[in-house]
A and B are shown apart, each in its own frame.
Chain A
Amino acid sequence: MLTVRVNNTDYQADVTPDTPLLWVLRDVLGLTGTKFGCGIAECGACTVHLDGKAVRACSLPVGLLNGRPVTTIEGIGNDPLAQAVQKAWMDIDVVQCGYCQPGQIMSAIALLRDNPHPTDTDIDAAMSGNICRCGTYLRIRQAIHNAAGLSA
């Protein structure tokens, strides 16, 4: 049994330590908002926060968590910055199929936490690890700018 702290709750998971956090979240804890896209940290669909930083859950063995707290898309609802980001996403209807968007949003929140007023270049550097197959990048960039304004 491994203990994982997710969204301020401790969970026991009966998995081997090499199991990526992604599958503990999705298949053991039922937190399916974090998505599986590639399994090799190339697409960012599985982005969650570890100690507040954006990480790829598909490439993070739970055995290496060492008690550090994890936050998923399901756990951000009360955070004002997260609310600003989600509102910005809805205001300009960023989503299309929406599958990558929890990961995009988790990356965006982590960016804005470190850099409340990012330039286009900052946004591109922080967000280009997140693939969107529907091609919503232009709106994601705009929504991040808008969220920076909303949360200012």
Chain B
Amino acid sequence: MIVLPLAKRLITTAITGLAVTCLTLAACQPATAASPDHPDPATIARGQYLARLADCEACHTAPGGMPFAGGRPFEIPGMGTLYASNITPDPASGIGAWSDDEFVRAVRAGISPGWKHLYPAMPYQDYARMTPDEIRAIRAYLTTIKPVARKPPANAIRFPFSIRAIMIGWNLFNGPSSSYPDDPSHTPQWNRGRTLVEGPGHCAECHSPRNLTMGTSHSHAYAGAITAGWTAYNLSSDLKSGLGSWSDEALNAYLTTGHANGHGTAAGPMAEVISYSLRFMTQSDRAAMITYLRSLAPQPSAESQDHSAGPTQAALARGASLFAGACSGCHLTTGAGRQIDFATISGASTLKDPDGHNLIQVILEGSQLTTDQGQISMPRFGAGYSDGDLSDIAAYTLLTLGKTRPAFDTNAVSTIKNSK
């Protein structure tokens, strides 16, 4: 969910970054040694809550691996593969040897011990909105996690991106400020909502388009963007493609469970955000988040580029047949959830996008959503189904269940695969 923008940012800022690095390095001083104390349960609980708001676990856990032990790969086209770090308290492989100050600096400034500059896959520029005290609470919580003595694989990053110090340059344009005062013209609830959305929630990282330096756009904030192949939808108040058409009730349900009747179910990266983060929010934080989101100025989404004649009748017929076989077990042939509401796809934003972006994505990658009732999964479809088969399924789904004319044909999946 945080992969593609990073790559683009790095590409544009590599040169400036290199220039600034040497100057900044000279001014750096090593941090003092660690001495973790024994935090009280209230602090730990607060830290767990904040860690969830910040969605730490999703990125710092490999698929099927131990929580927070890192190792999750992030493949960045043109740059290489980053592996999330181990943030368990193991002293050698994790962050057990870090001082609290070192931890705070890593999370808020993107600089880990030894003056190692983090790549902004770690959204420190957003986390800086959390106070040092809050970050220390997160640290306190992380000390209670089972230590895992296993180092993630080394990053496989190409030169010049392998020089971490180039991030210093990027930080000049897009990096964190030193403080984030409340806006007195708004209610405390709105201000809390802003903190959640802009800070630990780091929503803009996926939902805002990028500016020229590949930081998140402020002029088109939350207008939606494509990240790691998935469309993060428009969160602004736009009536057509934003949250303008959502009731508070629907938003509340979506943020709590990942599903809202008539709006479909979170999938892909958003399903992770619900699973590891949003579903743990308190009711008042959720209300604050909704209040803030409601206040976002309407931003039209980028219009679809209608680039193909769309599917043929034969392709749609094949799609219908394939859907009845491969998809009806969960979605019936009507798009209604067969056994659970989570599988009701009618009304989903995904079925209103003529490009079928997330629809094809979820067919190819599947999705996992954790709820209080357990794991809700969609399997990925691949081997055995040709690219054409999968494109036809998507076209049929969009037209028949989403009442949206597909702007793609039988070659859509091949095109997407080839572009990766």
Taking Cβ atoms with an 8 Å cutoff, the residues of A that contact B are 16-19, 40-44, 50, 53-57, 59-61, 63-64, 124-126, 128-129
Contact = CB atoms under 8 A, between A and B. Distances in A.
Nearest first, the 7 A-B pairs at minimum CB distance are A18-B374, A41-B329, A55-B339, A60-B339, A128-B324, A128-B325, A129-B328
Interface string B315-346: 00000010011101110010000111000000
B415 interface: no
A4 to B, nearest CB: 14
Given A41-B339, A42-B329, A44-B329, A61 B373 contact: yes
A145 B168 CA distance: 72
28 contacts: A16-B374, A17-B372, A17-B374, A18-B375, A19-B374, A40-B379, A41-B329, A42-B326, A43-B329, A50-B339, A54-B338, A56-B329, A56-B330, A56-B338, A56-B339, A57-B339, A59-B329, A59-B330, A59-B340, A60-B339, A61-B374, A63-B372, A125-B333, A128-B321, A128-B324, A128-B325, A128-B328, A129-B328
Nearest to B330: A41
B374 A63 contact: yes
Interface string B360-389: 000000000000111101010000000000
A52 B333 CA distance: 17
Contacts of B379: 40, 42
Chain B, interface size category, equals 10 to 19
Nearest to B329: A41
Interface centre among A18, A40, A128 (most CB of B within 10 A): A128
A129 B340 contact: no
A61 B326 CA distance: 21
A109 B321 CA distance: 21
A104 to B, nearest CB: 13
Contacts of A128: 321, 324-325, 328
A61 B377 contact: no
A19 B185 CA distance: 49
A64 B324 contact: no
A40 B326 CA distance: 11
A54 B377 CA distance: 19
Contacts of A50: 339
A64 B375 contact: no
A101 B248 CA distance: 46
Contacts of B324: 124-125, 128-129
B373 A17 contact: yes
A57 B340 CA distance: 11
Contacts of B340: 59-61, 64
B385 to A, nearest CB: 12
Contacts of B330: 41, 56, 59
Nearest to A127: B324
Interface centre among B329, B333, B379 (most CB of A within 10 A): B329
Nearest to B325: A128
A128 B375 CA distance: 25
Contacts of B374: 16-19, 61, 63
A60 B377 CA distance: 11
Contacts of B326: 42
A47 B377 CA distance: 18
Contacts of B328: 125, 128-129
Contacts of A41: 329-330, 338-339
Given A16-B374, A19-B374, A129-B325, 14 more contacts: A18-B375, A40-B379, A41-B329, A41-B338, A42-B326, A42-B379, A59-B329, A59-B339, A59-B340, A60-B339, A64-B340, A124-B321, A125-B328, A129-B324
A40 B377 contact: yes
A25 to B, nearest CB: 14
B319 to A, nearest CB: 13
A64 B338 CA distance: 13
A40 B328 CA distance: 12
Contacts of B325: 128-129
Interface centre among B324, B339, B375, B379 (most CB of A within 10 A): B339
Nearest to B374: A18
A128 B373 CA distance: 28
A55 B328 CA distance: 10
